[in-house]
Amino acid sequence: SQTIHQWPATLVQPVGSPLSLECTVEGTSNPNLYWYRQAAGRGLQLLFYSVGIGQISSEVPQNLSASRPQDRQFILSSKKLLLSDSGFYLCAWNGQGNTEAFFGQGTRLTVV
Amino acid sequence: GESVGLHLPTLSVQEGDNSIINCAYSNSASDYFIWYKQESGKGPQFIIDIRSNMDKRQGQRVTVLLNKTVKHLSLQIAATQPGDSAVYFCAENRGDTGRRALTFGSGTRLQVQP
């Protein structure tokens, strides 16, 4: 069966520090991968999606970047965090075509 | 656009009553829709989906209705239970070439009163 792992679960980082969140998927090949952000009490905002290794599409201009160095690995990064980067970050995957997306358990990032 | 910046509306129901959560979508090219349930501090979980060639789909205690004419989606939960308390999101796949990511609605918080 397929599983998605996202870590860490919580993170507190100072303003100006770098960020690296990692997401890996097991049990499937060539998944579509996504990073979403959710502000407290709000909906999900799509940040990045990837349909293959090295292929990254950005949905909104921001202080973050994403990379996909391997087929089932998706990384969210920042060189210098801002206070506004605080939020709940969710990684997700789905198969090719119209299929449901499966989410990781999320990383709660607090920038102080 | 993406659903951010909006405080979640809340639906409060009594245990045992039926719940109806509504969602409007804007893109007539969307061809696949999903309802997700998100409990506090967790990732969204799949509830039920429907494709644009259908008007209704039923699961266990849940029914999704799709009205393409007015671009409206609803989730009906029968005999609502305290465990149903969560935030519910609708999501659409817009079917654009090369873009298969789900776009989420703003969400509705369901509170079940015992």
**Distance from A78 to chain B by nearest Cα, in Å?**
21
- Of B7, B4, B42, B35, nearest in space to B21 by CA: B35
- Of A102, A50, A96, A90, nearest in space to A73 by CA: A50
Nearest residue, CB atoms, A106 vs list B5, B42, B95: B42
Mark yes or no for CB contact B101/A34 under 8 Å: yes
Nearest CA in chain B to A33: B101
B104 touches A47 (CB < 8 A)? no
Among B102, B104, B106, which would you mutate to test the A interface (most chain A Cβ atoms within 10 Å of its Cβ)?
Answer: B102
Q: What is the pLDDT of residue B2?
A: 38
B61 touches B79 (CB < 8 A)? yes
Comparing A18 with A99, the larger pLDDT belongs to A18
Q: What is the pLDDT of residue A70?
A: 96
Mark yes or no for CB contact B43/A98 under 8 Å: no
**Distance from B68 to chain A by nearest Cα, in Å?**
18
How large a percentage of chain A has pLDDT more than 70?
Answer: 98
Cβ neighbours of residue B2 under 8 Å, at least 6 residues apart?
A43, A44, A45, A46, A59, A60, B103, B104
Asked if the peptide bond before residue A8 counts as cis, ω within 30 degrees of 0, the response is: yes
Comparing A90 with A39, the larger pLDDT belongs to A90
Q: What is the pLDDT of residue B54?
A: 95
The predicted-structure confidence for A8-63, as pLDDT tens digits, reads as follows 999 999 999 999 999 999 999 999 999 999 987 778 888 999 989 999 998 887 79
A31 touches A23 (CB < 8 A)? no
Residue A5 forms contact with B (CB below 8 Å): no
Tokens of A3: 């599983």
Query: Has residue A103 got a pLDDT over 60?
Result: yes
**pLDDT tens sequence for chain B (114 residues):** 333 334 678 999 999 999 999 999 888 888 889 999 999 889 999 999 999 999 999 999 999 999 999 999 999 999 999 999 999 999 988 765 455 678 888 899 999 998
Q: What is the pLDDT of residue B61?
A: 96
Tokens of A25: 């998927």
Q: What is the pLDDT of residue A41?
A: 74
Mean pLDDT of A72-91: 96
What is the spatial distance between Cα B102 and Cα B49, in angstroms, rounded to a whole number? 12
Q: What is the pLDDT of residue B95?
A: 63
Residue A61 forms contact with B (CB below 8 Å): no
Tokens of A28: 């499937």
What is the spatial distance between Cα B89 and Cα A71, in angstroms, rounded to a whole number? 28
C-alpha dist (Å) from residue B97 to A89, B79, B94, B111:
26, 40, 9, 38
Residue B83, SS3 per DSSP: helix
